[in-house]
Amino acid sequence: MINLTLISYLLQAFRLQIIMFVSAKSNNMTSIAAIEFNNAFFFKFLKFGVVGFSGLIVDFSITYFCKEKLKIHKYISNSLGFIVATGTNYTLNRYWTFDNHNPATLIQFGKFFVISLAGLALSNMIIYLLNDRLKWNFYVAKACAIVIVSLWNFFANYLYTFTG
């Protein structure tokens, strides 16, 4: 089991930061996004993981039902599972993970959905590579895709959708 007190102490002691830089016109670098690895970030990441796990259950359930029971093509089934999970994940992340009550819900959901669509494209590419090209089991390929896409989704939503 992870000792949260030790992790908390280390995060406070070192105040780790990742800064992404852009250097366009000169040697001066301008910060465009910064993530401070502190307690708040760590717990948001954990909450995002819990929400993601619930989304994984929704995603796999819908995908399995559509693919195996309704005999819908695997990419359409994957997309349907992903889209339904996106809706539940948005709601849970908005109110629980990021404690965000921005009144511009439609704009915020639009950002979340665009990030999710990019994740869906990435997910389908990974599944195509692993399942169709490398002949891995479809659900193993989907699980790998979920891990990679989850990281993309967290950081993109942390920096773009739920800022402020």
Domain ranges of the chain: 1-37, 43-161
Run of H or E residues at 97: none
Can you name the residues that pair with 30 across neighbouring β-strands?
A: 22
pLDDT tens digits for 96-126?
998 988 888 889 999 998 998 899 899 999 9
Q: Which residue has the tokens 């994984």?
A: 56
Q: How much is the pLDDT for 164? A: 57
Counting as low any pLDDT under 50, the low residues of the chain are 1-4, 6-32
User: Phi and psi for 32 in degrees, rounded to 5?
Assistant: -110, -20
Nearest Cα neighbor of 149 from 113, 108, 116, 111 is: 116
pLDDT at 104: 87
Question: In sequence order, which ranges of the chain are alpha helices (DSSP H)?
Answer: 4-14, 39-64, 74-92, 105-127, 138-156
pLDDT recorded at residue 34: 65
CB 122 within 8 A of CB 145: yes
pTM exceeds 0.75, yes or no: no
